Amino acid sequence: MTELRQTGKPAPVPVASQQQKAIRIMIRAKQLTRQFEQKGRRNAPVDAVTTVDFSVEAGELIGFLGPNGAGKTTTLRMLTTLLRPTSGEATVAGCDLLTDPGGVRKRIGYVAQGHGTSPESTVAEELAFQGGLHRLTKKAARQRAAELAGELGLAGLERRLTRTLSGGQRRRLDLAMGLIHKPNLVFLDEPTTGLDPQSRANLWDHIRRLRAEKGTTIFLTTHYLNEADELCDRILVMDGGRLIAEGAPHSLKAQVAGDSVTVGVTAEGVAATREAVQRIADAYDVSASRDQVHFRVPHAHRVLPGLLRALDAAAVTTTSLLVSRPTLDDVFLHLTGRTLQDGGGPVFTTEEADARAAV
Ligand SMILES: Nc1ncnc2c1ncn2[C@@H]1O[C@H](COP(=O)(O)OP(=O)(O)O)[C@@H](O)[C@H]1O
Ligand SMILES: [Mg+2]
């Protein structure tokens, strides 16, 4: 695995409950591995997830990023006890995944990819049913449902059939159902896939607030780069069943790609500009054209003032300055040689595989 560790710690957040105070590490996965047999190809199992190691601290908001077929859902299903690992182990919310799956289930919330609600039930019925699954009394479930409806912008929709809700409302209902028992740790599988940009931003706000106000640890999968970038403290990058990098979005981008700087100058200033850039210790990929000098550097803001002073002293006239920050797609491209949008060449997704298996 590429050695990219988080440099900055996330801001401290309130913890969800007394019980969580004792748990500093919410998830510790060790060598987690899952293979799937392929029908008719006995000796060619699919390596969906291979020796994945990572830890998540209480209160972190983690993005599990990777193209379709990377192994995100399979990892989530193992960590939420729905799928037994082929090998490896994990502790989740303080409980051992293999020996105490019941303990894990009690302490976590899981919002699966796609919708978990039944179309002919009302919002209130779905929440009451979910409360029952977690052994809340009817009264406690009703109170909790009202509380969640307020928090997640579902108030007034209690009598609506779930099939009449908008995509964003349905996703917020899925989230409410995953939170009914006040879990300290929530897994969200592609929470915003298929939502329009406005509903996506709205769901991000709810997720941020859940972490800020309740201290809930949130582990979400996504293939949206900007979602991982804007929302998450730390990103785990999956590809082909393996964890290939981890770190805070800014440190991943700084370490892998660096900022790109283009200085526009008059033709007679190009040589002096090139020399000044070459004196910057950590500048690389320096190139020059007729009226521009281009280079990359880990942190442009640290070197630009000095560069501009040097150009001034050398009487070079600068005509433009363009700094562009790398994106997470640059990071993925650097690590894999492909862009995330190209995808990882999945055979099919977990859900499709399940559907096929059921036929
Ligand atoms: N039940 C299954 N049977 C066979 N292959 C599966 C099954 N579930 C997932 N896979 C395969 O495992 C790989 C990882 O899938 P998945 O975890 O769904 O990826 P992601 O969620 O990142 O899109 C894919 O190649 C997928 O086809
Ligand atoms: Mg998936």
Q: How far is the CA of 258 from the centre of ligand 2 (A)?
A: 30
Counting from 1 in the atom list of ligand 1, the atom nearest the Cα of 349 is 18
Protein residue closest via CA to atom 27 of ligand 1:
348
**Distance from residue 1's CA to the centre of ligand 1 (Å):** 21
Check: CATH 3.40.30.10 for 258-325? no
Q: Per-domain residue ranges for the chain?
A: 18-253+334-358, 258-325
Give per-10-residue mean pLDDT for the chain (359 aa).
41 47 89 92 90 97 94 97 97 97 95 84 94 93 93 94 94 93 95 89 93 95 90 95 94 79 96 96 92 93 96 96 86 82 45 40
> Quick one: pLDDT at residue 101?
97
Q: Which letter does DSSP use for residue 192 in this model?
A: T
Residue nearest atom 12 of ligand 1, based on CA coordinates: 48
Ligand 1 pocket test, candidate residues 41, 42, 46, 223, most atoms within 8 A of CB: 46
Please name the residues in contact with 305: beta carbons below 8 A apart, sequence gap of 6 or more: none
Say what the pLDDT of residue 206 is: 92
Q: Is the distance from the beta carbon of residue 50 to the nearest atom of ligand 1 less than 6 Å?
A: no
Residue 340: what residue type? L
How far is Cα 213 from Cα 116, in angstroms, rounded to an integer? 26
Q: Whose CA is nearest to atom 9 of ligand 1?
A: 350
Residue with CA at minimum distance from ligand 1 atom 8: 350
Residue with CA nearest ligand 1 atom 5: 36
pLDDT of residue 273: 97
At the top level of CATH, the class of 18-253+334-358 is: alpha beta
Both tokens of residue 64? 């599990």
Q: What is the pLDDT of residue 286?
A: 93
Residue 121 burial by Cβ neighbours in a 10 Å radius (0-12, 13-18, 19+): middle
* Per-residue pLDDT, 5: 39
Q: At what angle do helices 138-151 and 167-179 cross, to 10 degrees?
A: 130
State the Cα–Cα distance between residues 275 and 119, nearest whole angstrom: 67
Q: Residue 41 has what pLDDT?
A: 78
How many residues in total does the chain contain? 359
Cβ-contact 286, 278 below 8 angstroms: yes
Token digits for 267?
């033709």
Helices (H) and strands (E) in the chain, counts: 13, 14
Structure tokens at 279: 């004196």
Q: Could you identify the residue written with the tokens 């990103």?
A: 235
pTM, to two decimals: 0.78
Residue with tokens 């050695």: 3
Tell me, in angstroms, the distance from the centre of ligand 1 to residue 247's CA: 24
- Residue of 251, 220, 221 whose CA lies nearest to 70: 221
Alpha helices in 81-196 (DSSP H): 101-107, 123-133, 138-151, 167-179
Residues around the ion ligand 2 (C-beta < 5 A):
72-73
DSSP type of residue 289? -
Residue 279: the pLDDT is 96
Q: Please report which ligand is nearest the Cα atom of 67.
A: 1
SS3 65: strand
Distance CA 89, CA 73 (A): 17
